[in-house]
Amino acid sequence: MKIVSVIGARPQFVKAATVSRIVAATDGLREVLLHTGQHYDDNMSQVFFDELSIPQPNYNLDIGSGSHGAQTGAMLRDIESVLVSESPDGVLIYGDTNSTLAAALAAVKLHIPVAHVEAGLRSFNRRMPEEINRVVADRISDILFAPTQTAVMHLEREGLKDNTVLSGDVMYDSILYYRHQLDADPDSHRLPDMPERYYLATVHRPQNTDNPDALSAIFAAFAALPCPVVLPLHPRTARYIAEYGIEPRNVRLIEPIGYLWMLRLLLDCEKALTDSGGLQKEAYLLGKPCVTLRTETEWVETVHDGWNEVVAADRERIEQAAAAPMPTAPRRNAFGDGHAADIIVNSLLNRL
Ligand code: UD1
């Protein structure tokens, strides 16, 4: 059986690394890896292939940046021609990026079954491009691998129960797999010259970066925090900081970094301040409180236990949440048993 896995952006490299490792060890299943080139800078892409030992992609479409229509359209056209020549038994897609949507559309129109890893997430905010990508990808996929019971519930409500498999979350598999490497050699991925106490932040969502008021409020809050903020800077955020004339204070700006470096930074920080989906969950799973710089979150399980406070780009609320005492509630694990990738691979073999 042959599957084509489509990836393109940072979070997809991490998820695919975990599934690809199990696929490679499975008899009777062959994977063709297609990278759309949505992320193309070395430190947004190649670094993940190197450190997570992801095989080099069989195809790299080099699509690069563009408006949503131009980027998704170019991917759709080029993914289609790869699928026509490879004629796989299924297409595996991840998460909610434009690469996810393009692959789902290309495959479904060629009558190739689509399996969606991280299905059923909902923010219920249709102004997020990722929400549109998820809703459409789930609707046209044949197998929906839901990471949590909440995701299963969303899919059931949308009438997609028969296609849904509760797999658990491949990012939890990934944390368990790589955490022991970090524990075994704590200095192996520790950046030099980091402050002793710091907050770890990431900011890249359009609702924050493309809005001068929001981005200014976030940096004003960072300036007022009791210890420095370490911020690996997404290229889009860098562009807007310059454009709006924001001068980050109390912030240590660093280049985007690989997965293991990021996990190390997270393990050593006081709290995470982020608008990323993945980092909210990684913080929760590693026992770090999170302050979410958005108006809502898909990962509601992290909020229920008091470990994640959703405060939007509100200066005062960010400062309060960052200064709040450590939560004491135990963390429930809603993300599976660390074997999501095995469940996914077995289901592919049985269902395709
Ligand atoms: C994408 C995903 C988002 C995910 C994020 C992870 C969509 C709609 N969004 O957002 O869900 O959380 O990836 O990082 O698919 N750029 C570079 N170099 C790169 C990549 C991007 O300079 O290697 C710059 C370009 O100026 C580009 C901008 O970043 O225009 C945005 O990149 P894009 O891939 O469109 O979306 P992300 O914001 O990264």
Q: Which residues line ligand 1 (CB under 6 A)?
A: 9-11, 38-41, 44, 65, 96-98, 129-130, 204, 235-236
User: Which ligand 1 atom is the nearest neighbour of the CA of 11?
Assistant: 6
Q: Which two tokens stand for residue 68?
A: 């949503």
Please report which confidence band the pLDDT of residue 203 belongs to, taking 50, 70 and 90 as the band edges: very high
Task: Please name the residue whose Cα sits nearest to atom 32 of ligand 1.
Answer: 65
Q: Which pair of tokens denotes residue 120?
A: 């059923």
CATH superfamily of 183-323: Glycogen Phosphorylase B; (3.40.50.2000)
- Other CB atoms within a 10 A radius of the CB of residue 162 amount to 8
Nearest CA to ligand 1 atom 3: 97
User: How far apart (Å, rounded) are the C-alpha atoms in residues 299 and 250?
Assistant: 29
Which residues of the chain are in CATH 3.40.50.2000 domains?
2-169+336-351, 183-323
Confidence of residue 333 (pLDDT cuts 50, 70, 90): confident
Maximal CA-CA distance, the chain = 57
* Cα–Cα distance, 133 to 209 (Å, whole number): 20
Q: Do the beta carbons of residue 129 and residue 68 sit within 8 Å?
A: yes
Question: Tell me, what's the pLDDT at 97?
Answer: 98
Mean pLDDT, the chain, integer: 97
pLDDT tens-digit profile of 16-72?
Answer: 999 999 999 999 999 999 999 999 999 999 999 999 999 999 999 999 999 999 999
Pick the CATH number of 2-169+336-351 from 3.40.50.720, 3.40.630.30, 3.30.70.3270, 3.40.50.2000: 3.40.50.2000
Residue 201 binned pLDDT confidence (cut-offs 50, 70, 90)? very high
Q: Whose CA is nearest to atom 21 of ligand 1?
A: 39
Q: Which bin fits 290, alpha (ψ -120 to 50), beta or left (φ > 0)?
A: beta
Q: Calculate mean pLDDT across residues 173-195.
A: 95
Q: Which two tokens stand for residue 200?
A: 């770890």
pLDDT score for 305: 81
**Both structure tokens of 293:** 């710089």
pLDDT at position 350: 96
| pLDDT confidence tier of residue 137, bands split at 50, 70 and 90 | very high
pTM: predicted TM-score of the whole model, two decimal places: 0.97
CA of 204 to the centre of ligand 1 (A): 8
Cβ atoms of residues 17 and 174 within 8 Å? yes
| Atom number in ligand 1 closest to CA 41 | 23
Phi-psi region at 145: left, alpha or beta (left = phi > 0; alpha = psi -120 to 50):
beta
Closest atom, ligand 1, to C-alpha of 96: 11
- Among 35, 39, 189, 204, the one annotated catalytic: 204
Give yes or no: 111 in active site: no
